[in-house]
Structure 1
Amino acid sequence: MNVTGLRVALFSGNYNYVRDGANQALNRFVGYLLRQGAAVRVYSPTTDTPAFEPAGDLVSAPSFPVPGRKEYRVSYCMSGHVRRDLKSFRPNLVHVSSPDPLGHRAVSWARRHGLPAVASVHTRFETYPRYYGLAFLESTIESLLRRFYRRCDAIVAPSESMAQLLREQRMSYDVGIWTRGIDREIFHPDRRDLGWRRSLGIADEDPVIGFIGRLVMEKGLDVFSDTIDQLALRQVRHKVLVVGEGPAREWFQNRLPKAIFTGFQQGADLGRAVASMDMLFNPSITETFGNVTLEAMACGLPTVAARATGSESLVSEGVTGRLIRPGAIGAFADALTTYCNDADRRRAAGAAAVAEAERYGWDQVNQALVDTYLRVIRQRSQGATPRSSPVP
């Protein structure tokens, strides 16, 4: 079989109703599949106000809003409508991108029909409880995730550091890589715009520390704020530029009253905002890849990031940026102080980051996942089935 023989049923917890890096990668991948001649059907919760138009055919799955985070939805069952559509579509592979109830039922459906299932891992769900005072739930959530992923023929992670963590957590025997690409037309050092910076009240000589992403607590907003406080105490010259929207925006603005908030940006406007920063500060430990880190690198920015999954695979310590122990406020402040005060080191790290980002092209990235699809289908045709545990 080649790619034109693929009939993929993709199950997503959020395909297009809230914009984030994970669902944009899924939409880009579906577009790639369709251009190669594959057939794809997507099953996901939907809303009347989607963030963007979906790639491919999208079938709505029953869902309810997440308590306390109503912008997100949970699909709670595989409805009769979804089952009938699946029967009519006749997939030969099931792809699940979220370990939600619909994802569990999709894997069960695949197993009942003798079809291979592939899961893509997009975030570290087991780390989320610690940001809401529920850290004691982490081991339970990890166990539930392990049960889910072990029922799949293969799982793919967006970075080698995340893949290694999944192996250590005994999530699967078969852990591959489906990384992320970069749009070089949007993210490029030439997008830097000093006039735009000046319009925001940023002087040319002000070192700009950037934050990019959804404004939610699990992105490490508390660590970011505490670190900026340290820079103020040290009287380090800097400006903070925050690009993004989210439910924690009011909290973040209250913590950083001198920061500049642009709100949500996309396309060329996002490229301009990123390139107009001088460094990225990414203290999050929940990313499995870190799209914003790659975007910043492509724009010529050094990155100061938590030593965690995703960032470890992108940032070369001391070359393209700094990797700091998660939560180490003083060490984060030391690294940012160096880049704020030393323009030569900043430029050298940024140039190295641009060279590193050149390796990430979307077509090559997406073909790697197609190759995984074809491999598991071939293995199933030869009698292979998912193994229940990657350890004795």
Structure 2
Amino acid sequence: MARAMDPIPESNTSVAPLSGLRVALFSGNYNVTVDGANRALNRLVGYLLRQGAQVRVYAPTVANPAFEPTGDLVSVPSFAIPGRAEYRLPSALSPRVRRDLAAFAPQVVHVSSPDIAAHRAVSWARRRGLPILASVHTRFDTYPRYYNMAWLEPALTALLRRFYRRCDALVAPSESFAQVLRDQRMNYDIDIWSRGVDRDVFNPRRRDLSWRRSLGLADDDVVIGFLGRLVMEKGLDVFSDAIDQLSRRGIAHKVLVIGEGPARDWFTARLPDAVFAGFQGGADLGRAVASMDVLFNPSITETFGNVTLEAMACGVPVVAAAATGSQSLVDDHISGRLITPGAVRQFAEALRCYVEDADLRTAHGAAGEARSLEFSWDRINQAVADTYLRLIRQKKQRMAGG
């Protein structure tokens, strides 16, 4: 049997509290592209390694990944997702991967995407009596409605339920999303793995008027920003419809779009007067966000809302859908506005208030920045480590009692 039940120290040990812990992490997209989920996973692995744990990551690899992976990465068989070639779908646990996994002898298996390889990893772990933690990063069940296939949602929800119920516990990025998972009966052991924000990158001092000018944005322009991958499930239709409402009402504003994706041509055609600044990363991303005057995030697929938190850290008020993620971050009428999903006229009215009232932007932006100070990456990632240790102890107790 794998060395799953080797002794491990308690999580409150003062020096290297995770020394001896071995974690096998399965990711559908660890560093192939850049998104909130894989950034969070890489930060988690970096934290675990600094605390003395051993981590082995199993994920697809490509010749030219978006960034260098944190930790040891083992390539798993995969294929490009049709129509979304920037993502790859792990397709199997090959004999080579299984041998590597057995040699590593993890004490806990962490799956972060309900793909084929993760299903196989869950079965592999269950046969060996290993605890399994699943992190849930996105509202996969809502995706079909953006591609005129809403009839698929019940079947997809059932498939997700089968996957997550085979895991010992879940971690979700926000309490609002955790409650959705409970209501859907995905699992009943759900902890919170929130998200942090890098204050060196995201803060109001990053605002750069000269950069704005280089994009054709005047100092007195009120800039409504979009930040994220340009895919329909991010609410691009609602965003553009609300902007149309502002234009028809004669509300002076400018739109700044940060991000790339397969729906860029569609979005460009819908917003011909917008400034598309493309992908921004690191300090450039912090500059771009801080140079907005309001962030508009109409997406309902977010489980946390990294972009919302990043805007708040930059002192930028947020207009967001009252959905999982943002509603755990934004205090309505204090640091931003939470609007009924899809309510275009209400979104437009909230944006109008910010466009026309500089004092309101300043006050709500300051409140958002104060709220963002609560999100420390180390504290947040330790919560996941504590969940690993709890699951290992519980599994040992059940085995001893059985």
| CA distance in 2 between partners of 1:51 and 1:126 (Å) | 26
Aligned match of 1:244 in 243, 248, 259? 259
| CA distance in 2 between partners of 1:91 and 1:384 (Å) | 17
Give 1:5 deviation, angstroms: 2.2
In structure 2, the residue matched to 1:316 is 331
Pairing of 1:145-160 with structure 2 (within 5 A):
145-160=160-175
**Amino acid paired to 1:101:** I
Pairing of 1:219-238 with structure 2 (within 5 A):
219-238=234-253
- Rate the CA distance shift 1:184–1:384 in 2: closer, same or farther, 3 A: farther
2:201 is the counterpart of 1:186: yes
In structure 1, the residue matched to 2:13 is none
2:293 is the counterpart of 1:278: yes
Give 1:384 deviation, angstroms: 7.0
Identical amino acids, percent of aligned pairs:
69
In structure 2, the residue matched to 1:302 is 317
TM-score under structure 1 length normalisation: 0.97
Structure 2 unaligned spans of 5+: 1-7, 10-17
Give 1:292 deviation, angstroms: 0.4
| CA distance in 2 between partners of 1:246 and 1:68 (Å) | 11
| CA distance in 2 between partners of 1:187 and 1:145 (Å) | 34
Q: Secondary structure of the equivalent of 1:127?
A: helix
2:121 is the counterpart of 1:141: no
Give 1:49 deviation, angstroms: 1.1
CA RMSD of aligned residues (A): 0.9
Aligned match of 2:282 in 267, 284, 303? 267
2:377 is the counterpart of 1:355: no
| Matched residue count | 385
| CA distance in 2 between partners of 1:81 and 1:218 (Å) | 36
| CA distance in 1 between partners of 2:329 and 2:374 (Å) | 11
What whole-Å deviation, never above 9, does each CA across 1:330-350 have from its counterpart, x for those lacking one? 000000000000011111000
| CA distance in 2 between partners of 1:198 and 1:42 (Å) | 43
In structure 2, the residue matched to 1:388 is none
What whole-Å deviation, never above 9, does each CA across 1:114-159 have from its counterpart, x for those lacking one? 1000000000000000010100000111111111111111100001
In structure 2, the residue matched to 1:373 is 388
2:131 is the counterpart of 1:108: no
Aligned match of 1:80 in 95, 100, 105? 95
Aligned match of 1:195 in 201, 210, 215? 210
What whole-Å deviation, never above 9, does each CA across 1:255-304 have from its counterpart, x for those lacking one? 10100011000111111110000000000000100100000000001100
**Amino acid paired to 1:172:** N
| CA distance in 2 between partners of 1:96 and 1:70 (Å) | 22
In structure 1, the residue matched to 2:343 is 328
2:304 is the counterpart of 1:289: yes
TM-score under structure 2 length normalisation: 0.95
| CA distance in 2 between partners of 1:384 and 1:65 (Å) | 40
In structure 2, the residue matched to 1:53 is 68
Structure 1 unaligned spans of 5+: 386-392
| CA distance in 2 between partners of 1:246 and 1:17 (Å) | 14
In structure 2, the residue matched to 1:253 is 268
| CA distance in 2 between partners of 1:324 and 1:376 (Å) | 38
Give 1:162 deviation, angstroms: 0.5
Q: Secondary structure of the equivalent of 1:383?
A: helix
| CA distance in 2 between partners of 1:348 and 1:369 (Å) | 34
| CA distance in 1 between partners of 2:44 and 2:53 (Å) | 11
| CA distance in 1 between partners of 2:202 and 2:290 (Å) | 7
Give 1:71 deviation, angstroms: 1.2
**Amino acid paired to 2:283:** A
Give 1:69 deviation, angstroms: 1.1
Give 1:198 deviation, angstroms: 1.3
**Amino acid paired to 1:103:** A
What whole-Å deviation, never above 9, does each CA across 1:194-236 have from its counterpart, x for those lacking one? 1111111111111110000110010000110011000000110
